[in-house]
Amino acid sequence: MSDYLLEVKNLTKRFPIKGGLFGKEVAAVKAVNNVSFKIKKGETLGLVGESGCGKTTLGRSILRLIEPTSGEIFFNGEDIVKFESDRLRQVRRKMQIIFQDPYASLNPRMTVGAILSEPMEIHKLNIGKEVRKKRLYELLDQVQLPKDALNKYPHEFSGGQRQRVCIARALAVEPEFIVCDEPVSALDVSVQAQVVNLLMDLQKDLGLTYLFIAHDLKVVEYISSRVAVMYLGNMVEVAESHELYGGSRHPYTKALFSAIPQPNPNIKHDRILLEGDIPSPMNPPTGCHFHPRCWQANDECKQTYPSITNQSETHEYKCHNPIQL
Ligand SMILES: Nc1ncnc2c1ncn2[C@@H]1O[C@H](COP(=O)(O)OP(=O)(O)OP(=O)(O)O)[C@@H](O)[C@H]1O
Ligand SMILES: [Mg+2]
C-alpha cells in the first residue's frame, strides 16, 4: 500500500464562458492547469497564492464538487474521477470540506443536532436513535462544544463556535481527508489560533489528512508539513514549509513569503513588492505566466512554460531562472 492517501495528476479545470445568441463557448477561464501533487496519510499540505489563483477550484475539484475538465485523482489508490453515483457517494464520505464562512455554510433553520445528523442520514449510516445521540455528544466533545449545543440554532453561536459546528459536521461521517478552505480567515485573530489548534489536535487523534488553503502564510507555515504555491492556475513550487521561507527558488514564492512580518527586527529582511496586476486566467501570458511581474525573467521565460525541477525529494519548482541560494 502506498504512503500517499491522495495523488492528483494533471488536474485541469476550465470554466467555459458562453455568449452570443446560441450560447456558444466564446472563452474559458483556465482556473486550474495541469496540477499534480501528492499528500501522505496524516499530513497537511498547505495551499497558498493570491486571490483568484485557483485554490478553491482545486479543492472542490478534488472532491468532485465541481467536475474536473481532465486529469486523475487517486484516493487510496483508486482514480475517483471514474467513479459514478454509488461509489462516488461512498468515497465522498471519506473526503469532506470545511468552508471559509461559518455563517453562510450552516442552515439557520436547523438545530445543531439536525445539522450534525444530516450527513449521517445522507450517507445512510443507519444507526439507532440511542447510538446516534451518543455519537452526537461525542462529536460535540471532539470540537469542544457543550452538550446543550445540540438543541441550539447557528445564530446562538459566535463565529468560532460555528466553525466548530462545521468541523463536527465534517467529522460526522468519519472522513480520512478534509479540504480546509480558509477555515479561519473569517474569524477574529484571537479565535483563529484556537480553531487551528483544534484542527491539529483532531488530526493527531483521528489520523486525518488535510489540504489546508489559506491566505495567511503564518497560519499555513504553522499547520502544514509541506506547502504548495499556486500562481494563475499552476502549482509553481512545493516544499517543506520550513524550506520556503528563505529557501524558495521560485521568485513568486520569494515575493509572497517576503511579505510575512518578522518578529525579530535584527534579522535582515527585504520585502519584495510585486508590480503589476495578476493577469486574467482567461488570457494568461505566454511562457511562464509570472514573467511580466518577475525581476528574474529572461527571453526563455517569455516563450516556454518551465517544466518541473526537483531540487530534492520534497522540494520542486517550475522556473527557468530560479533564485540562487
Ligand atoms: N463557477 C465559475 N465560473 C467561472 N469562473 C469561475 C468560477 N469559479 C471560479 N472561477 C474563476 O476561476 C479562477 C479561480 O477562482 P478560485 O475561486 O478557485 O480562486 P481562489 O484562489 O480560491 O481565490 P480566493 O483566494 O479569492 O478564494 C478565478 O479567476 C475565478 O474568477
Ligand atoms: Mg478561494
Q: What is the pTM of this model?
A: 0.94
**Mean pLDDT, all residues of the chain:** 93
Confidence at residue 52, expressed as pLDDT on a 0 to 100 scale: 93
Ligand nearest to the CA of 57: 1
Taking only the tens place, the pLDDT of each residue in 235-264 is 999 999 988 888 999 999 999 988 777 666
Taking only the tens place, the pLDDT of each residue in 114-166 is 999 999 988 877 778 888 999 999 999 999 999 999 999 999 999 999 999 99
Confidence at residue 6, expressed as pLDDT on a 0 to 100 scale: 98
Can you tell me the mean pLDDT for 260-287?
A: 81
Ligand nearest to the CA of 67: 1
Contacts of 223 (CB under 8 A, 6+ apart): 44, 46, 196, 199, 200, 210, 212
CB 54: neighbour CB atoms within 10 A? 24
* Alpha-helical segments (H) within 77-188: 85-94, 112-122, 129-142, 159-171
121 versus 55: the higher-pLDDT residue is 55
| Ligand 1 contacts CB of residue 305 (under 6 A) | no
| Ligand 1 contacts CB of residue 279 (under 6 A) | no
Above 70 in pLDDT, residue 267?
Answer: no
- Ligand 1 atom at minimum distance from 57 CA: 18
Ligand nearest to the CA of 215: 1
Confidence at residue 268, expressed as pLDDT on a 0 to 100 scale: 63
- Tell me which residues have their CB within 5 A of the ion that is ligand 2: 56
Going from the Cα of 65 to the center of ligand 1, the distance in angstroms, rounded, reads: 14
Share of the chain above pLDDT 90, in %: 78
Taking only the tens place, the pLDDT of each residue in 194-226 is 999 999 999 999 999 999 999 888 899 999 999
| Ligand 1 contacts CB of residue 59 (under 6 A) | no
Delimit the domains of the chain by residue range: 1-220, 225-325
Q: Which three cell numbers stand for residue 68?
A: 474536473
Above 70 in pLDDT, residue 309?
Answer: yes
Confidence at residue 103, expressed as pLDDT on a 0 to 100 scale: 82
| Ligand 1 contacts CB of residue 29 (under 6 A) | yes
| Ligand 1 contacts CB of residue 60 (under 6 A) | no
Sign, CA torsion 119/125/130/135? negative
How many Å is the maximal CA-CA distance in the chain?
69
Confidence at residue 276, expressed as pLDDT on a 0 to 100 scale: 83
Confidence at residue 110, expressed as pLDDT on a 0 to 100 scale: 96
Element (H, E) at 221: helix 217-223
| Ligand 1 contacts CB of residue 15 (under 6 A) | yes
| Ligand 1 contacts CB of residue 51 (under 6 A) | yes
Element (H, E) at 205: helix 189-206
For residues 270 and 51, give the distance between their C-alpha atoms in angstroms, rounded to a whole number. 23
Confidence at residue 269, expressed as pLDDT on a 0 to 100 scale: 65
Confidence at residue 74, expressed as pLDDT on a 0 to 100 scale: 97
| Strand 226-231 to 44-48 pairing | parallel
Ligand nearest to the CA of 30: 1
Residue nearest to atom 3 of ligand 1 (CA): 15
Which of 32, 47, 53 best tests ligand 1's pocket when mutated (most atoms within 8 Å of CB)? 53
Going from the Cα of 100 to the center of ligand 1, the distance in angstroms, rounded, reads: 14
Confidence at residue 55, expressed as pLDDT on a 0 to 100 scale: 97
Confidence at residue 245, expressed as pLDDT on a 0 to 100 scale: 80
Confidence at residue 266, expressed as pLDDT on a 0 to 100 scale: 67
The CATH code that applies to domain 1-220 is 3.40.50.300
Confidence at residue 211, expressed as pLDDT on a 0 to 100 scale: 98
Confidence at residue 263, expressed as pLDDT on a 0 to 100 scale: 67
Sign, CA torsion 174/170/217/287? positive
Confidence at residue 274, expressed as pLDDT on a 0 to 100 scale: 85
Above 90 in pLDDT, residue 22?
Answer: no
For residues 48 and 238, give the distance between their C-alpha atoms in angstroms, rounded to a whole number. 10
| Ligand 1 contacts CB of residue 53 (under 6 A) | yes
Above 80 in pLDDT, residue 66?
Answer: yes
For residues 222 and 48, give the distance between their C-alpha atoms in angstroms, rounded to a whole number. 13
Confidence at residue 178, expressed as pLDDT on a 0 to 100 scale: 98
